[in-house]
Amino acid sequence: MGGLPRVNEVSDFVGRIRDVTGPGAHPLHEPVLGEVEIDFLSKCIRSGFVSSVGEFVTTFEEQLASFLECNAVVAMSSGTAALHIALLTMGVRPGDEVLIPSATFVATANAVAYCGAVPHFIDIEWETLGVDAHALDTHLNAVAVRKGDEVVNRNSGRRISLCVPMHTFGHAVNMSALHDVVREWGIPIVEDAAEALGSSFQNRKCGTFGLVGVFSFNGNKTITTGGGGALATNDRSIAERARHLSTTAKLKHRWDFIHDEIGFNYRMPNVNAALGCAQLTRLKESLQSKRRLFDRYDEIFKGSNLGAMFSEPPDSQSNYWLQTFILHREKSNYRDEILDRCNSDGLALRPLWAPLHTLRPFKNLPRAEMPVTMDLSLRAINLPSSAGIA
């Protein structure tokens, strides 16, 4: 097919997607909703408890903890809120630097900024699309020094207090390589597992590797609570502190309003948790559907001369939250034409997020070299990924 004119190559690409999705409009990711959700929501409304107190919140937290095989889950109003609280419980202070990938959703960097800290951007690797542990080590050796118990950026003088790897599109970061590097430096980890519910690395669930992991249940994630998020941890004192901070730091009392520090109104309302409980009943099946969907895309794009599907990294299981097509390097100039053509045709294809270090609020911040991030941003195309398609 090497000699096909470009317009035919793009048509061929769209045709292959249509072979999988069928006709009509297809958003990037829509939730599966039905009778179960209606049942749970009716029960919640009949109970009279729709706000921040109620049994569905507790049930949702317990079921999620059991699925993740971790000690405690604290449900919150969004993944961003959960990230913010996670960073605070890990002791991130104003003026710190926090290592995060540039190739992530803006929420990761926003949460750092909410703490008064500074994102310090690092690169990813092709194998996982997540943090490149080896490149991180090289970068730290170039810019960081140990001062007592702390790691300091020798250029900025700021403390580097945390690393937040993100499991891109549900593909697991190589957590064992990353642990080797951060352990040596004494830098703790908070996992941004917002996209990775149900993914695992070496048979351990994503979100349970660091002291703290964070999930999102926004409408476009693997399961949804409308809007919502959660913090998962094996450390009960962190869970308690997260619960306290996210419920306005109010002390338990039968009637009095005593708040012992500045807290946040970040708790998940009961009505959202009811939706979450319903969605959890579908989780296993959704994960199977999403894997089936990957298999179909993978099959149909075999023999495409534009590129190939990104498949799960070794030693891991992906939840295949988003299905990602990677253009061959010499075809990266097809990206915008494909996006334009498909979006006009009702297929909501999306590129990678603009690398955060290129965005106005995050320009001129400390960062590593970004060869893979920049390359991926030119070549990644996310395809319609709803579990309902397969």
Ligand X SMILES: *Cc1c(COP(=O)(O)O)cnc(C)c1O
Residues at the interface with ligand X (CB under 6 A) = 78-80, 104-105, 107-108, 166, 192, 194-195, 216, 218, 229
Tokens of 369: 């070299």
Please, which residue, 97 or 195, has the CB nearer to ligand X? 195
Distance (Å, rounded) from C-alpha 58 to C-alpha 270? 9
Task: Give Cα 292 to chain centroid, integer Å.
Answer: 21
| CA dist 99 → 86, 132, 151, 153, 365 (Å) | 14, 12, 12, 11, 11
Please, which residue, 112 or 274, has the CB nearer to ligand X? 112
The torsion angles phi and psi of 214, rounded to 5 degrees, stand at: -130, 140
Burial label for 344, CB within 10 Å (0-12, 13-18, 19+), is: exposed
Tokens of 363: 């320009």
CB 106 within 8 A of CB 359: yes
* Smallest separation (angstroms) from ligand X to the CB of 271: 17
* Smallest separation (angstroms) from ligand X to the CB of 104: 5
Please, which residue, 153 or 218, has the CB nearer to ligand X? 218
Q: Which residue has the tokens 């996982």?
A: 128
Across the chain, the runs of DSSP E, i.e. the strands, are: 72-76, 97-101, 118-122, 144-147, 150-153, 160-163, 190-192, 200-201, 204-205, 212-216, 229-233, 307-309, 316-317, 323-327, 350-351, 380-383
CA proximity to 341, closest of 15, 1, 43, 4: 15
* Smallest separation (angstroms) from ligand X to the CB of 107: 4
Please, which residue, 21 or 218, has the CB nearer to ligand X? 218
Task: Give Cα 108 to chain centroid, integer Å.
Answer: 9
Please, which residue, 104 or 208, has the CB nearer to ligand X? 104
Distance (Å, rounded) from C-alpha 334 to C-alpha 131? 27
* Smallest separation (angstroms) from ligand X to the CB of 195: 5
* Smallest separation (angstroms) from ligand X to the CB of 101: 9
The identity of residue 137, as a single letter, is: D
* Smallest separation (angstroms) from ligand X to the CB of 110: 9
Please, which residue, 47 or 110, has the CB nearer to ligand X? 110
Task: Give the residue closest to ligand X by C-beta.
Answer: 79
Please, which residue, 216 or 323, has the CB nearer to ligand X? 216
Please, which residue, 10 or 75, has the CB nearer to ligand X? 75
Q: How many residues does the chain have?
A: 390
User: DSSP labels for 194-258?
Assistant: TT-TT-EETTEETTSSSSEEEEE--TTSSS--SS-EEEEES-HHHHHHHHHHHBTTBPP-SS---
Task: Give Cα 194 to chain centroid, integer Å.
Answer: 3
* Smallest separation (angstroms) from ligand X to the CB of 77: 8
Please, which residue, 60 or 334, has the CB nearer to ligand X? 60
Handedness of CA 286, 177, 367, 233 (dihedral sign): positive
Please, which residue, 13 or 213, has the CB nearer to ligand X? 213
* Smallest separation (angstroms) from ligand X to the CB of 78: 4
List the alpha helices (DSSP H) in 22-132.
35-47, 55-68, 79-89, 106-114
Tokens of 318: 């992906």
* Smallest separation (angstroms) from ligand X to the CB of 339: 19
* Smallest separation (angstroms) from ligand X to the CB of 175: 16
